Structure 1
Amino acid sequence: MKDILSQAEIDELIQSLNTKSEEPVLVKKEKVKPYDFSRPNKFTREQVRAIEDIFSNFAKLLSLRVSDFVRTTCFFEVTFIEELTFFEYTNSVQKSSLVGIFRVNQSDHNASVELSYSAVESIINLILGGDGNCNQNIFSGYTEIEINLIKRVLNIFIQPMIDVWKGFADIKLNLQRVENMGQHIQIAAPSDIIAIVTLKAHIAENEGFINFCIPYFLIEPVLRNIAVTKGFTRTSKPDGVSHEEYLKNKITNNIVEMICNLGKAYLTLDELERIQAGDVIKLKKKTTEQAELLLNNIPKFSVDLGQKNNKIALRINNTIERTS
């Protein structure tokens, strides 16, 4: 015979059902990314990461070249890479920017480099002997002298760019012209897909940006080589290791050249022509003076010469302080 529920048990059952029905039901919303079939993506993630690595190396080389040219510390870094149509890019070019047009491999294909107003003015100010500061709120156009100075700067971009692409493609670049109306440049059709690589420029105490516009049809022949190259295998930092320790371990095995500078001597061309075996050359250093030990051609230590185990040896005495 079936058990019969009491009234108290029936009330408890009804109450439990009501309690469960009051609990909110969570519905997981799936993230849907819209896809424009009229403009399919041309660049894969692997290709974008590889391009980022290439331009990161370029930014390091460019930092050295520009710093040497303007004689102050400049630093460039990749901030982002974006895929756009050429029409979208030209609409975003600022009126105060300067755009350099480069011809690639002596063909009809071109790429462009856009320099922001703050970057242009800071560089020009440094070239002309200033401190690199500029008034970013005032723009009155560019003179022919300023445009010619920027041409010299853009020509500095060529060799580092060739170096970082070496191994993927043998490219040749030639600066064609510099435009101060970047919205009207024509290096691709409005609907063509391009890659925009943006570098943040730290020049003196100012910041600006540099945009590299690369049409897809220009880079497409080397995309496969970029994606599969072993040189771009990424290694992640081990867990629990600080960034400083990780970098220290990476450079520990680097080789540093050491040269002992015994002294200097100056000869005329006539003396140099008549020099022969057995001649004695007098150095401009006394026997009581210490020699210099150079690390990567930089004087670092003062040393004494000696002998150990039938080999010439050096004893380090003092550190040579560098004077700026």
Structure 2
Amino acid sequence: MVEEVLSQNEIDALLSAISSGEMNAEELKQEKEEQKVRVYDFKRALRFSKDQIRSLARIHENYARLLTTYFSGQLRSYVNITVASVDQVPYEEFIRSIPKMTVLNIFSVQPLDGRILMEVNPNIAYAMLDRQLGGRGSSVNKVDNLTEIETMLMSQLFEKSKASLYEAWSSIIGTDPVLEDLEVNPQFLQMVSPNETVVVVSLDTTVGETSGMINICIPHIVLEPIIPKLSVHYWMQTNTNKRDPDAYEKITQTLQGARVDAKTLLGETTISIDQLLHLHKHDVIALNQPIDHPLQLRINDQPKFYVQAGKSKNKMAVQVLEEFKRGKNDE
């Protein structure tokens, strides 16, 4: 507990106010006692720390980038998805905040318990559907009467997006996301109790010229087993772990066997087309490489060493003199 320390001037002013009757000592004592009581709303229980919320934001920033790539490829259109906010609210409050008719994708994420809900604003959902059917991506909000074909197309689109969800969460836990259902009325969907705390990740989404929100609702029961992994301490431990010796050895062996293109440039020059057309046998072309300067050994067209030309076992060869360093005039 941190106590507030008053300066000497503040103490003198306080004593003066009590002595003159401007302030009553009993009232001051009562006010101090009242400040110890803090209102707590059990319907809005905060079950996640700011640190854990920031970790969830980082995970879903990566998820937003993966979804952007996925939807851009599937829809052949401009798609931009970014994280707008990450909040924890009661499930009932989340349900009241979304439209009465919308597109709700329900994912199970084994081995975690519970289900994740992805709510897609009708404007965005129909823009995506219009692009799938060859349109320009315009939005017509008629989500209350989806046809079987429209429902199937949307289900297939979001079912394939589970790979992005798996990859985004892979840094924390390996999951097996499965699209269990697609619903349009949130009132018929009761995943958890109304007062259960859920994390709502809001994604600002643009498809072509249509903008809207995609909201991801993650109940506490889903995150409970992995809450310790959402701390900064876990991320730091993960990032500072020693490398796997076996994996390091395999990578080393693979790299050592990789083939690269090595060549030495003896020199170069520039001539005109007229000079080229009039070249004859025994003509000499002067290169820009002085004979007393070392040559460059290039690895995959990148200068790596300074070398000198020679012969080894009746074959042309070069001898390495020193490592090439950037910034020299020879570059």
Asked if Structure 1 and Structure 2 have the same fold, meaning a TM-score greater than 0.5 normalized by the shorter chain, the answer is yes
Pairing 1:143–2:147 present:
yes
**Deviations, residues 79-103 of structure 1 (Å, cap 9, x unaligned):** 1122121222222231231101111
The higher radius of gyration belongs to 2
Change (3 A) 1:313 1:49: closer
SS in 2 for 1:173: strand
Deviations 1:271-308 (A, max 9, x none): xxxxxxxxxxxxxxxxxxxxxxxxxxxxxxxxxxxxx5
Verify: 1:195 aligned to 2:199, yes or no: yes
Would you say 1:60 and 2:74 are equivalent positions? Answer: no
Distance (Å, rounded) in 1 between the aligned partners of 2:175 and 2:144: 36
Deviation string, structure 1 residues 40-83 (Cα, Å, up to 9, x no partner): 21011001111111100100011001100001120101111221
How far did 1:141 drift?
Answer: 2.5
Query: Root-mean-square deviation (CA), in Å?
Result: 3.5
2:42 & 2:97 partners in 1: Cα distance?
Answer: 23
d(CA) in 2 for partners of 1:144 and 1:64?
27
Give the 3 Å change call, closer, same or farther, for CA 109–130 of structure 1 in structure 2.
same
Partner of 2:94: 89
Indicate which of 161, 174, 177 corresponds to 2:181. 177
* Alignment partners' CA distance in 1, 2:116 and 2:298: 58
How far off its partner does 1:106 sit? 5.8
- Mapping of 1:211-290 within 5 angstroms? 211-227=215-231, 228-230=233-235
**Following TM superposition, by how much is the alpha carbon of 1:111 offset from its aligned partner in structure 2, in angstroms?**
1.4
Please give the per-residue CA displacement for 1:214-251, whole angstroms capped at 9, x wherever unaligned: 11011011111111333699xxxxxxxxxxxxxxxxxx
> C-alpha separation between the residues in 2 aligned to 1:218 and 1:193?
11
Q: Distance in 1 between matches of 2:57 and 2:300?
A: 47
Tell me which residue corresponds to 1:105.
Answer: 110
Instruction: Supply the distance in 1 between the matched residues of 2:138 and 2:162 (Cα, whole angstroms).
Output: 26
Asked if 1:158 is matched to 2:162, the reply is yes
Residues 164-201 of structure 1: CA distance to partner in whole angstroms, max 9, x if unpaired?
21131121111111001122112112221111111011
Query: 1:292 corresponds to which residue?
Result: none
Does 2:78 correspond to 1:73? yes
| Matched letter for residue 225 of structure 1 | K
Deviates further, 99-108 or 177-186: 99-108
Structure 1 ranges of 4+ moved more than 6 A: none
| Amino acid in the other structure paired with 2:191 | I
Contact persistence 2:196–2:220 (CA under 8 A): yes
Greater mean deviation of Cα atoms: 170-179 or 87-96: 87-96
Looking at structure 1, the residues matched to 89 and 204 of structure 2 have their Cα atoms a distance apart, in angstroms, of 19
In 2 relative to 1, CA 139–188 (structure 1 residues): closer, same or farther, beyond 3 Å? closer
CA distance in 1, matches of 2:112, 2:235: 29
Contiguous gaps of at least 5 residues in structure 2: 1-34, 239-259, 262-294, 303-331
Letter of the 2:173 counterpart: A
Query: 1 CA distance for matches of 2:138 and 2:96?
Result: 28
In the aligned structure 2, how far is the partner of 1:33 from the partner of 1:142?
49
Q: Cα distance 1:149–1:33, how it changes in 2: closer, same or farther (>3 A)? A: farther
> Would you say the 8 A contact 2:199–2:218 is kept in 1?
yes
Identify, as 1 or 2, the structure richer in helix.
Answer: 2
What TM-score do the two structures reach when normalised by structure 1?
0.60
Q: 1:204 aligns with which of 203, 208, 212?
A: 208
Please tell me the residue identity of whatever aligns with 1:95.
K
- Name the TM-score, length of structure 2 as normaliser: 0.59
Q: Counterparts of 1:80 and 1:74 in 2: how far apart (Å)?
A: 19
For the residue of structure 2 that corresponds to 1:229, the secondary structure is helix
Check the 8 A contact 1:90/1:184 in 2, yes or no. no
User: CA contact under 8 A between 1:50 and 1:232: conserved in structure 2?
Assistant: no
CA distance in 2, matches of 1:114, 1:131: 23
The share of aligned pairs that are identical, in percent, is 25
Contact 1:90 1:185 in 2 (8 A): no
Offset from partner CA, 1:101-140 (integer Å, 9 cap, x none):
111206762111111010011101111111112245x666
Structure 1 residues 201 and 232: alpha-carbon distance in aligned structure 2, compared to 1, 3 A threshold: farther
Change (3 A) 1:134 1:44: same
